[in-house]
Amino acid sequence: MADVVGTWEFLSRCQSLSLRERAFLAVLRFGGLRKGEALGLEWRHVDPTANVLRVDQQRRKANALAVTRKLKSEAARRNVPMRTPLAQLLADLRRAGETCEVWTGRGGRVLVETRLVFPFREHELARVAAVVRGVDPASFPPGDCWHVFRHTLAVELVRAGKSVEYVHQWLGHSDLAKTVVYLRGLVGGFVDPLGVEDLDRTPPPVIGGSSHTSTGRTGRPSEASSPGTRMHSHVDVPSKREPQLGN
């Protein structure tokens, strides 16, 4: 997205979207989940105590409610932090109930109960995508728009002082080279490292989906810019490695 910092304002402008739809977009943008990972979330994966989303399964086809524990790679099985506004959105949605009824089956004639957080089908996702493009057409060209949010999170994390290795583990990439591709040539708003809420106070993602989440604070990385310093659009791979997340 062209404006990294203004995403909450972007979501608020999507007035025609439901609370569930806006929460879905926020999970993609601030959790960095792949579309299938977000569609596979059940309420048992949303942990408000540890303040994390547990990525442990996915839905490969939105028109089917069936989930699979086979992810893109084992690196994708991880816990990711919930920023405060995202946690609030999900808490508001949860108050409506942890189960909902959806029409499924051939022709959508069967009413079933599900504990999926986002039991959307393809035509519903297409409508959400159309609204998103209407609000910010420059950031969401035709095609699969969902990865735009994931790329935006990657840029935000690096510009907030996180290393490429940190972003690599947050996104659940099996290969560091994939993360580097995400960060080359992407343009976003300039971010003050001290102004990005909770990036340094939130426990880092736990790789492997362990139920034990670190409660310690992560230190500010050595490559972080000083307050007020603008970081340029080109992103270089840091030469100094951060400790591995979750250790």
Give per-residue pLDDT as tens, 198-219: 444 444 455 555 444 333 333 3
Token readout for 171 is 């996104």
Give the pLDDT score at 100: 80
Instruction: Classify residue 114 as exposed, middle or buried by CB count within 10 Å of its CB (0-12, 13-18, 19+).
Output: middle
Give the pLDDT score at 213: 37
**Nearest alpha-carbon partner for 160 in 132, 207, 206, 198:** 198
d(CA 2, CA 138): 8
d(CA 228, CA 121): 44
**Nearest alpha-carbon partner for 62 in 33, 34, 36, 94:** 36
d(CA 81, CA 166): 13
pLDDT in tens, 157-187: 888 888 888 999 999 999 988 888 877 654 4
pLDDT in tens, 19-75: 999 999 999 999 999 999 999 999 999 999 999 999 999 999 888 888 999 999 999
pLDDT in tens, 80-119: 999 888 899 999 999 988 888 776 666 556 777 889 999 9
Asked if pLDDT for residue 10 goes beyond 50, the answer is yes
Kind plus residue range of the DSSP H or E element containing 17: none
The answer to pTM > 0.75 is no
Query: For residue 47, what are the β-bridge partners?
Result: 52
Asked if pLDDT for residue 121 goes beyond 70, the answer is yes
Instruction: Classify residue 29 as exposed, middle or buried by CB count within 10 Å of its CB (0-12, 13-18, 19+).
Output: buried
Query: For residue 111, what are the β-bridge partners?
Result: 103
Asked if pLDDT for residue 120 goes beyond 60, the answer is yes
Give the pLDDT score at 215: 37
Give the pLDDT score at 243: 38
φ, ψ (nearest 5 deg) of residue 158: -65, -40
d(CA 71, CA 62): 15
Token readout for 19 is 């609370």
Higher-pLDDT residue of 18 and 224 is: 18
Torsional sign, CA 96, 98, 99, 102:
positive
